[in-house]
Structure 1
Amino acid sequence: MILSWRRRRASHGGSKNSEVLNGNLETDIRIPTDFRCPISLDLMKDPVALSTGITYDRESIEKWIEAGNQTCPVTNQVLTSFDEIPNHALRRMIQDWCVQNRSYGIERIPTPRIPVTQYEASEICSRIAVSTQRGDHKRCRELVAKIKAWGKESERNRRCIVNGGTGYVLADSFHSFASVSAEKHVDLLKEILSVLTWMFPLGEEGQLKLGSASSLACMVWLLNGGDLSARQNVVLVLKELLSLNQRHVDVLAEIEGVAEALIEIIKDPICPKATRASLTAIFYMISPSPISRRFASRFAELGVVPLILEILVEAEKGICERALGVLSGICDCKEAREEASKNALTMPLLVKKMLRISGLATEFAVCILWKLCGNDKNNEGGVLVEALQADAFQKLLVLLQVGCGESIKEKVTELLKWLNLHRNKLDCADSSMDFKYLKRTL
């Protein structure tokens, strides 16, 4: 079997066989069969041998074993041991081959680092726990930096570290040093947060430590600071934490400045990931709960409605879904509904996003439209007329035809009834359409 490495080459003097370094012809380089992983068929970067004597690329065979397989993929023999022995001789041969063919654009594979073992992960956790008890923030920071470096090396290392219970240890360390003095230990706290972003779900005890009042107060303090990297890590951690338990939202509600900080990340974006995380955190904070009304009112006062509408104009899918989710949640608040109803962008954007982004975005858009129109149906009908002018009627009919969930279907049907009562106000309305199939409102 042949796997091709392609390099552009150009003909020189009209000859198709001549090769120029910066040309445009393609040359196929054959990779020796023994250099390819039997599973992925790609050039092996970290060849390891199993107990059966067959060599695979480490990443491929680990995925095979983690999927629950207990046999060798090539021989189908049951593995007597899951030990993976590095095949250094073959790896050096592959590296030599890469060097010999570097003129064809093939880069030499780097010598892989030895993966982290479960013992090493457990050992470093113990050291962090001891250093935390002693209040040795300098030693803690050195150990956390080592974990961070391990995590950067490979996804396998990350899985090993997480499975070793590191999440709880780091959450406990963060809680302990944040309780003493956030300002004094700020560098360590920032380092811990940078690792915790890929540690979730942490476990029940870890969540309690990270969701404590002192831990959350420290995160809000960092969120209001000037360090962009720290602010990004905080909002990523908050997003995960708030999704796990409503009690974290309740504790966060008592801390001043959190709403302003989350809004600031949306106003002055750090990166798309941070924007998505901030919108997700806001969504959890305004989700139905006894305390959500206060948060919704606060976000409305901070101008989140026009901000969300501006984002929706050119938002990518992930951000668009979250922005619509926030707008749907905050429209349970009277002040937010009034703000959305007055904004000229609201109806055109809601109609535009239906059936265009995703099923979830469409559901959110319908919910927002239903809340705004339902609040206006017994009044002058200005919102309903705006919706008609934005072609909401036609879009909702299409949505019924393509299908949607029962709860959304009920809202769509109700919206069509409300809109139909105001269609005579539009000169462009088509009176020939029959809507007898719509059920009457009880």
Structure 2
Amino acid sequence: AEGKAFGTNIMEEVEVPCYFLCPISLQMMRDPVTLPSGITYDRDGIERWLLTAGTCPLTKQPVPADCEPTPNHTLRRLIQSWSALHAADGVERVPTPKPPTDRARVSALVSRIGATATSRSTATQEILAALRELRDVAAESERSRKLVAAVPGAVDVLAAVFVASAATKSQSVAVCDDALEIISSLQLSEQCLARVIFEANEALVDALVSVLQRSNTASRARAALLLQNVTAAMSPSRLVSLSEQVFREVVQLIRDKVSKAATKAALHVLVGATLWGRNRVKAVDAGAVVVLVDMLLDAPERRACELALGALDRLCGCAEGRAELVAHGAGVAAVGGKAVRVSDVATDKAVRVLRSVARHAAKAAVVQEMAQTGVVGTLCAVALSEHYGERTRERAQEILRRHAMSWRTSPCLHHHLRAMYPC
């Protein structure tokens, strides 16, 4: 098969020799590289392929994770000569590609950052220059980011610089921001994060909290995403000892609506960190219940709604959380309003929250409110619909039976719902 090359003002189609085409994209290669299997691909295409598959696309031979494809300079020069020859036909010239960053350069940069950070006599501008050079390397491609993360000691050095610059007011804020930007761009494994957490002790979380307290929205968003990953990698013993300040800053992040990604990260932190009663109380004291209810009233997108209901489910596992929910003027109604028409996950979480209220906080006024705001009608619909999971329907039926004496005869319950009311 032969490809076609097209230019802006091309008079006729130009046939591209088949051996100039990348087997993956079927487009003319600009930076041909050869795998150990002997097959040549365009660098961009094969690097993207190897991110998800560790084999040669054509031969299916395994490709080592640390394999560096060999540049095919001869083929690249042929392609450049051919494109120059057909430039008059509208074929775009193929420039000489910039050599990709190699491990030696990254290692040298990491060593330079580490040495600069430990030297008290070194100016802030020197470490900043090294960090920005490494940041530019990481920004080149996914391959470069994987390379930075794989260099021994790179993540540890960056974490140490970030923690130190966040804690030392004399250090430039830019050093802290650049180190955070590099770390947050890397795809760090849970094992790597767990090691960094162990070595930094509480200092890493404290550094992230200090960034969350600043006004720079981009840095706050990166800190939120990194905090999500850090808390997910924490052991239960460390997670349960999170400070109240962590929850205050996470709640403030949701309140400020810094970005959709930052809001979701904050919600993930709330859900993951409130498995235990002590953290639930900390989150409630930080105002989490109020901000989550207000968020539900703002009609968030599906995933954010599911996470907010998941966090409320956790917080309603303690008396303080339930008290805050029923004390909110729209708390019960907001949860009931998300029990249908969002997703099965949202329905399950909303029903779980309502069950906690019905079991432990159902004073007469709350029971009446659930009927007046349509929550009882929603529970009837969930209990009788086969669209929802069996456990979700069972929970809805349990709530309805628990307060049947009040709701069956309620004037707020439509007559057709009374007929549907579970026995």
* TM-score tier after normalising by the smaller chain length: 0.7 to 0.9
Listed as ranges, the gaps of 5+ residues in structure 2 are none
Aligned counterparts, 1:169-248, within 5 A: 169-179=157-167, 181-199=168-186, 200=188, 201=190, 202-210=192-200, 212-245=201-234, 246-248=236-238
Q: Residues 82 and 278 (structure 1 numbering): CA distance in 2 closer, same or farther, change over 3 Å?
A: closer
Structure 1 residue identity aligned to 2:128: R
Q: Residues 277 and 305 (structure 1 numbering): CA distance in 2 closer, same or farther, change over 3 Å?
A: closer
Q: Deviations over 1:345-378 (max 9, x none)?
A: 4455434434544443332222112112223556
Equivalent residue in structure 2 for 1:382, among 344, 368, 382: 368
Aligned counterparts, 1:16-165, within 5 A: 33-51=18-36, 53-62=38-47, 64-65=49-50, 72-74=56-58, 83-87=68-72, 88-89=76-77, 92=80, 112-135=97-120, 136=122, 137-165=124-152
The yes-or-no answer on 1:268 pairing with 2:252 is: no
Does the 8 Å CA contact 1:348/1:390 hold for their aligned counterparts? no
After alignment, is 154-163 or 329-338 more displaced?
A: 329-338
1:144 and 1:120 map into 2 onto residues whose CA distance is: 13
2:334 and 2:176 map into 1 onto residues whose CA distance is: 41
Q: What residue number does 1:304 align with?
A: 291
SS of equivalent to 2:99? coil
Does the 8 Å CA contact 1:223/1:235 hold for their aligned counterparts? yes
SS of equivalent to 1:391? helix
The yes-or-no answer on 1:429 pairing with 2:419 is: no
1:274: Cα distance to partner? 1.4
Structure 2 residue identity aligned to 1:429: H
Does the 8 Å CA contact 2:162/2:179 hold for their aligned counterparts? yes
After alignment, is 107-116 or 329-338 more displaced?
A: 107-116
Q: What residue number does 1:417 align with?
A: 401
Q: Residues 395 and 320 (structure 1 numbering): CA distance in 2 closer, same or farther, change over 3 Å?
A: same
Aligned counterparts, 1:333-352, within 5 A: 333-343=318-328, 345-352=330-337
2:225 and 2:118 map into 1 onto residues whose CA distance is: 27
SS of equivalent to 2:107? helix
Q: What residue number does 1:278 align with?
A: 266
1:108 and 1:324 map into 2 onto residues whose CA distance is: 55
Q: Residues 384 and 186 (structure 1 numbering): CA distance in 2 closer, same or farther, change over 3 Å?
A: same
Does the 8 Å CA contact 2:316/2:353 hold for their aligned counterparts? yes
The yes-or-no answer on 1:391 pairing with 2:381 is: no
1:342 and 1:185 map into 2 onto residues whose CA distance is: 45
Q: Deviations over 1:378-426 (max 9, x none)?
A: 6452244246456313431355x135264x4542331242364413214
Does the 8 Å CA contact 1:331/1:371 hold for their aligned counterparts? yes
Q: What residue number does 2:305 align with?
A: 320
Q: What residue number does 1:23 align with?
A: none
Q: What residue number does 1:15 align with?
A: none
SS of equivalent to 1:56? strand
1:101 and 1:405 map into 2 onto residues whose CA distance is: 67
Structure 2 length-normalised TM: 0.79
Q: Residues 264 and 96 (structure 1 numbering): CA distance in 2 closer, same or farther, change over 3 Å?
A: farther
Question: Number of aligned pairs?
Answer: 406
1:155: Cα distance to partner? 0.5
After alignment, is 291-300 or 59-68 more displaced?
A: 59-68
Q: Residues 2 and 225 (structure 1 numbering): CA distance in 2 closer, same or farther, change over 3 Å?
A: same
Q: Residues 213 and 132 (structure 1 numbering): CA distance in 2 closer, same or farther, change over 3 Å?
A: same
Does the 8 Å CA contact 1:309/1:345 hold for their aligned counterparts? no
1:194: Cα distance to partner? 0.9
1:110 and 1:358 map into 2 onto residues whose CA distance is: 50
1:429 and 1:6 map into 2 onto residues whose CA distance is: 70
Does the 8 Å CA contact 1:172/1:206 hold for their aligned counterparts? no
2:142 and 2:413 map into 1 onto residues whose CA distance is: 61
After alignment, is 138-147 or 31-40 more displaced?
A: 31-40
The yes-or-no answer on 1:369 pairing with 2:357 is: no
1:178 and 1:419 map into 2 onto residues whose CA distance is: 53
1:168 and 1:98 map into 2 onto residues whose CA distance is: 51
1:169: Cα distance to partner? 2.0
Q: Residues 388 and 76 (structure 1 numbering): CA distance in 2 closer, same or farther, change over 3 Å?
A: closer
Structure 1 residue identity aligned to 2:21: R
Does the 8 Å CA contact 2:34/2:41 hold for their aligned counterparts? yes
Does the 8 Å CA contact 1:207/1:241 hold for their aligned counterparts? yes
2:352 and 2:5 map into 1 onto residues whose CA distance is: 51
2:284 and 2:37 map into 1 onto residues whose CA distance is: 65
Q: Deviations over 1:58-91 (max 9, x none)?
A: 2433455566655x54467788995523343255
Q: Deviations over 1:241-274 (max 9, x none)?
A: 11111455445416x4x44433332222222111
Structure 1 length-normalised TM: 0.76
SS of equivalent to 1:225? coil
Listed as ranges, the gaps of 5+ residues in structure 1 are 8-18, 20-26, 437-442
After alignment, is 226-235 or 61-70 more displaced?
A: 61-70
Compute the RMSD of aligned alpha carbons: 3.9
Q: Residues 195 and 374 (structure 1 numbering): CA distance in 2 closer, same or farther, change over 3 Å?
A: same
1:45: Cα distance to partner? 4.7
